[in-house]
């Protein structure tokens, strides 16, 4: 069983540094001073044409942002989302009282939230191809959300977990909560947490097509509100273990007590009208923090200013706090800087911490009289003194994903959160949709027989999923779904069936969804953006826009299955599936869920294939050799059910195996680069074994990441040879047969590793541990320890 701090004295997580880039200025102090004064920075946007939209306003970053420490970037173009984040990181670190030399690099982590990630870079490349120019292929390396985390890690030489979250408008808050848990669970001592997003024409055209933009600065909760105002920027918090922060003499700006996640399972864009899902996230956060509803004195609200969001949030607060809602102050920072999407929860978390520090409730600006359906205290137009020890920040997103973070003063007299006895986490369901077929047996048989599952497209090998979804989704269901959503929903329905789980009103809050994707909604992004290039604003399709966020597929899973427990979307590039398993494992082990459905899905388009081809990553061979001459690109969807052992036993579930633990480490070389000596992956395997209480001699096989990408393959081979030089073990390489299915590969390897225990004689012994390795293209490495069901303590 993995040792965690869950049943020991809880680890307190302090905030020691803050950094922000917003329309109010390029520092956290300028953000707070502006918000405290109620200064509205939603002004005419200067960086892009605005004539065609419902509004010409936005919370635009006016100052030029060039971080003194820079990162490798594409020639001729700097990704603004990354520059915003690096500038915020530099400020946060400078004010944190912690030098990078004072904590070992492998004990530093990054968790960054974003909605659109590096879309500006992808836009440069895609528009160049459409207009028959010659854009630089490396622009594509800066598109995935993981590039943001790896740019930060590479710039500051951080070698711990580098992770990205993309739950649209809830991503920044989700990132802060997850970062705090990484510290509590012993995976890091210091984590840079927050979010970053930049303006693009897709964002304005999308919200314009939904008729959500306000022609005037947003006036949340007001009677005559007209919609939201978009914003851009970044917010970063330095999270530190309390004992380390005190030893280093760092300023203690506040603490992160807990966080809560949930899903609405209601609609792709609209919140549940009664605020049920949002209330669940708030209740979960407060309960895990060990505080009462009466202790919550201030809420930094989601407060977008739209017709449906503000009343739903009001109802959610009343559902969660009960009578205490009447005495809470709630305000919207978005009324002053706009909606920063994936960065919103980060900058709003900073405002919440400053409010606690200075004992001030900041205002909701532009307030024009309380709307009848909004009946709380919204601190209209002027800040006021407020004595408080505890405050929360809410963020709710497209896809129905909700996040709530509980903050407290650093010296607040609050009870310790309740301790939870850690428990084994077992796998009770598997489903696979691959180019080999739509079952685990099909994938296994293709792997062991070296079956060719790919075909040549434009001179390279490509593997496609062939699925008739009519048995799972009606034509009406599929009408507004892309392939990412269809494959994810079908994989989930199959895995629930395989696990023997029926989702009911009684258990739906205790089952969660963890979605991993490397490229995300690439089909929908292309489908939405291409008409914009050719037709302008009239080409914007409101039916497509909701699918352009990375978490849309996870939201559809909740809608079609009724699962409304903790839900998130992780985007660690080619290691996204492994990242989903690791995060899902933590949520189950810590008691936030009894069961997590972990899904990994990626799909292909012609432009995706072209991009990989231009980056010289693809192979023309049907079976990839060990020479590292490129990989066969594939699509797929895989789902695994992770469950608390007690839950599995209670329903007499079949158990495929146990997830003992995991390790995450990074090369810190930056976007698209590996350490060829395998330092990061070796560290990840060491951590996985240490947390699983095993030695190298206990490992009987490694299910390798190797797929044909030479730098990654060399790094992995070097790491395995160095760590297991005295151990005889099998190194198994399914990707060389089934193809590199981007973010799906790590989870598919885990499924095959579990299937192998059902094949007599495949492993040298029927018991023992295997490691499943997975790596992003930027050197973030995951290693997951799995054990056979015969060694799981089912009769404990």
Q: Which residues are catalytic?
A: 169, 302, 339
Question: For 15, which DSSP code?
Answer: E
Question: For 191, which DSSP code?
Answer: E
Pairing status of strand 233-241 against strand 254-263: unpaired
Tokens found for residue 279: 């209330």
Residue that is written with structure tokens 């069961």 in the block: 595
Phi-psi region of 88 (alpha: psi -120 to 50; beta: other; left: phi over 0): alpha
- Tell me the β-bridge partners of 111: 163, 193
| Whole-angstrom distance, CA of residue 663 vs CA of residue 207 | 39
| Whole-angstrom distance, CA of residue 638 vs CA of residue 564 | 20
* Rounded alpha-carbon distances, angstroms, from residue 416 to 6, 412, 419: 12, 11, 8
Pairing status of strand 769-775 against strand 425-433: unpaired
Binning the chain into helix, strand and coil, the percentages to the nearest 5 are: 40, 20, 40
As a dihedral over the C-alpha atoms of residue 39, residue 43, residue 48, residue 53, rounded to 10 degrees, the angle is: 120
Tokens found for residue 410: 């650093």
Residue that is written with structure tokens 């310790």 in the block: 416
Phi-psi region of 322 (alpha: psi -120 to 50; beta: other; left: phi over 0): left
DSSP collapsed to 3 states, 452-510: CCCEEECCEEEECCCCCHHHCCCHHHHCCCCHHHHHHHHHHHHHHHHHCCCCCCCCHHH
- Tell me the β-bridge partners of 113: 165, 195
Question: For 598, which DSSP code?
Answer: E
* Radius of gyration for the alpha carbons in the chain, expressed in angstroms and rounded: 24
Contact 590, 6 (CB under 8 A): yes
Pick from 423, 20, 434, 426: nearest CA to 238: 20
| Whole-angstrom distance, CA of residue 402 vs CA of residue 390 | 20
* Residue 66 exposed, middle or buried by CB count within 10 Å (0-12, 13-18, 19+): exposed
Contact 256, 407 (CB under 8 A): yes
Strand order in 633-634's β-sheet? 455-457, 460-463, 633-634
* Residue 590 exposed, middle or buried by CB count within 10 Å (0-12, 13-18, 19+): middle
Pick from 378, 384, 242, 360: nearest CA to 305: 378
> Which H or E run includes 559?
helix 552-561
Tokens found for residue 460: 């390279």
Contact 785, 659 (CB under 8 A): yes
266 CB-side CA count, 13 A:
20
Residues 6+ apart with CB under 8 A from 727: 696, 697, 699
The packing angle between helices 80-94 and 119-130, to 10°, is 160
User: If DSSP codes are grouped into helix, strand and coil, which group holds residue 408?
Assistant: strand
Pick from 119, 200, 121: nearest CA to 540: 200
* Residue 645 exposed, middle or buried by CB count within 10 Å (0-12, 13-18, 19+): buried
Ordered DSSP codes for 727-792: ---EEE-THHHH-B-GGGHHHHHHHHHHHHTTSTTSSSSSS-EEEEEEE-TTSEEEEEEEEEGGGS
Tokens found for residue 743: 């973010």
> Which H or E run includes 130?
helix 119-130
């Amino acid at each position: 069983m993995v040792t965690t701090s869950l049943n020991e004295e809880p680890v307190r997580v302090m905030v020691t540094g803050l950094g922000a880039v917003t329309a109010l200025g390029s520092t956290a102090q300028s953000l707070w001073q502006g918000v405290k004064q109620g200064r509205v920075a939603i002004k005419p946007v200067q960086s892009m044409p605005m004539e065609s939209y419902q509004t010409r306003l936005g919370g635009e970053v006016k100052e030029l942002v060039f971080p003194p420490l820079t990162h490798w970037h594409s020639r001729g173009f700097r990704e603004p989302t990354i520059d915003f984040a690096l500038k915020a990181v530099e400020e946060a670190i400078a004010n944190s009282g912690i030098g990078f030399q004072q904590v070992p690099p492998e004990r530093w982590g990054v968790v960054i939230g974003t909605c659109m990630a590096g879309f500006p870079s992808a836009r440069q490349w895609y528009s160049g191809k459409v207009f028959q120019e010659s854009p630089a292929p490396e622009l594509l390396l800066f598109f995935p959300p993981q590039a943001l985390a790896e740019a930060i890690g590479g710039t500051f030489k951080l070698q711990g977990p580098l992770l990205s979250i993309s739950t649209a408008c809830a991503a920044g808050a989700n990132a802060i909560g997850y970062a705090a848990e990484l510290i509590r669970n012993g995976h890091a001592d210091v984590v840079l947490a927050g979010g970053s997003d930049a303006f693009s024409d897709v964002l304005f055209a999308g919200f314009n097509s939904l008729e959500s933009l306000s022609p005037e600065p947003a006036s949340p909760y007001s009677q005559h509100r007209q919609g939201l105002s978009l914003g851009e920027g970044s917010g970063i918090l330095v999270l530190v273990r309390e004992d380390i922060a005190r030893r280093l003499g760092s300023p203690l700006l506040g603490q992160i007590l807990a966080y809560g996640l949930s899903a609405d399972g209601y609609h792709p864009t609209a919140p549940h009208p009664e605020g049920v899902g949002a209330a669940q996230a708030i209740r979960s956060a407060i309960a895990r923090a060990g505080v009462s509803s009466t202790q919550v004195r201030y809420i930094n609200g989601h407060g977008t200013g739209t017709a449906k969001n503000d009343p739903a949030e009001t109802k959610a607060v009343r559902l969660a706090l009960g009578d205490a809602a009447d005495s809470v102050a709630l305000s919207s920072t978005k009324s002053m800087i706009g909606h920063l999407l994936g960065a919103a929860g980060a900058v709003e978390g900073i405002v919440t911490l400053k409010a606690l520090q200075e004992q001030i409730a900041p205002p909701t600006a532009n307030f024009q009289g309380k709307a009848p359906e909004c009946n709380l205290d919204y601190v209209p137009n002027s800040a006021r003194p407020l004595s408080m020890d505890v405050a929360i920040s809410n963020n709710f997103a497209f896809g129905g994903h909700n996040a709530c973070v509980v903050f407290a003063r650093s010296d607040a007299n609050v009870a310790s959160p309740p301790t939870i006895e850690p428990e084994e986490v077992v796998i009770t369901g598997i489903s696979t949709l691959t180019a080999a077929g739509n079952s685990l047996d099909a994938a296994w048989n293709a792997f062991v027989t070296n079956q060719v599952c790919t075909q040549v497209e434009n001179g390279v090998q490509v593997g496609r999923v062939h699925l008739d979804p009519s048995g799972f989704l009606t034509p009406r269901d599929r009408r507004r779904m892309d392939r990412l959503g269809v494959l994810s929903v079908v994989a989930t329905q199959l895995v629930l069936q395989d696990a023997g789980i029926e989702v009911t009103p009684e258990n739906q809050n205790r089952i969660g969804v963890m979605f991993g994707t490397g490229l995300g909604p690439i089909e929908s992004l292309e489908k939405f953006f291409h008409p914009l290039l050719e037709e302008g604003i009239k080409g914007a399709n409101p039916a497509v826009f909701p699918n352009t966020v990375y978490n849309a597929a996870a939201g559809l899973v909740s809608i079609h299955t009724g699962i409304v427990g903790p839900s998130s979307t992780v985007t660690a590039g080619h290691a996204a599936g492994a990242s989903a398993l690791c995060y899902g494992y933590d949520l189950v082990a810590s008691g936030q869920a009894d069961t997590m459905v972990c899904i990994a899905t990626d799909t292909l388009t012609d432009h995706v294939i072209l991009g990989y081809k231009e980056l010289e990553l693809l192979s023309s061979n049907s079976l990839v050799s060990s020479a590292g001459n490129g990989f066969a690109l594939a699509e797929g969807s895989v789902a695994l059910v992770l469950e608390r052992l007690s839950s599995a036993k209670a329903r007499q579930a079949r158990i495929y195996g146990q997830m003992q633990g995991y390790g995450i480490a990074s090369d810190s070389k930056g976007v698209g680069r590996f350490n060829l000596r395998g330092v990061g992956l070796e560290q990840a395997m060491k951590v996985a074994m240490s947390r699983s209480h095993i030695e190298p001699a206990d490992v009987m096989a490694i299910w390798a990441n190797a797929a044909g990408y030479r730098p990654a393959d060399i790094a992995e081979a070097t790491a395995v040879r160095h760590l297991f030089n005295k151990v005889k073990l099998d190194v198994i390489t399914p990707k060389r047969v089934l193809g590199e299915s981007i973010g799906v590969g790590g989870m598919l390897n885990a499924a095959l590793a579990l299937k192998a225990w059902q094949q007599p004689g495949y492993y040298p012994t029927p018991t023992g541990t295997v490691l499943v390795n997975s790596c992003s293209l930027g050197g973030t490495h995951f290693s997951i320890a799995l054990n056979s069901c015969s060694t799981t303590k089912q009769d404990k």
